[in-house]
Amino acid sequence: MHELAVTEGVIKVAVEAAGGRRVRAIDLVLGALSTIVDDSVQFYFDALSRATLAEGAVLRFRRVPATALCLDCGATTEVAPPLPDGCPGCGSSRLRVSGGTEFLVESIEVDDEPG
Ligand SMILES: [Zn+2]
């Protein structure tokens, strides 16, 4: 369960970025191949954000698809796990995951007034 650690990181980032203002919402990007479970993040967030400026903030998850880059023809393809055996364009098996593993804070919304 590494959601605990990543959720601590999300709160830290959001509170620092808020600069003393209350955090209303946090937009998170979650890749299709990420092992992060959004329900778990929400669970830890509710517990860990208590008594911080992020308490009560809404978590919004934006899911991004996994992509694979073909090392032979250079095509980037949207893929769904498990990865395909070959590039849909040229059939090469030399595919590298190029996206979809990310989990990051995309943006936050804060109150206009400090405090
Ligand atoms: Zn290819």
For every residue of 50-71, DSSP letters joined together read: TTSTTTTPEEEEEEE-EEEEET
Give per-residue pLDDT as tens, 1-12: 589 999 999 999
Spatial contact of 51 and 15, defined as CB atoms under 8 Å apart: no
Both structure tokens of 49: 């954000």
Spatial contact of 14 and 111, defined as CB atoms under 8 Å apart: no
Q: What is the pTM of this model?
A: 0.83
CA 92 to centroid of ligand 1, rounded, Å: 5
CA 45 to centroid of ligand 1, rounded, Å: 41
Report how far residue 65's alpha carbon sits from residue 72's, in angstroms, rounded to the nearest whole number.
22
The domain made up of 1-65+100-115 is a member of CATH 1.10.10.10: no
| Domain residue extents for the chain | 1-65+100-115, 66-99
CA 72 to centroid of ligand 1, rounded, Å: 5
Give per-residue pLDDT as tens, 106-115: 999 999 875 5
CA 9 to centroid of ligand 1, rounded, Å: 37
CA 32 to centroid of ligand 1, rounded, Å: 21
Segments of the chain scoring below 50 in pLDDT: none
> What is the model's pLDDT at position 5?
94
Report how far residue 61's alpha carbon sits from residue 79's, in angstroms, rounded to the nearest whole number.
20
| 108 to 54, 57, 70: CA distances (angstroms) | 10, 9, 34
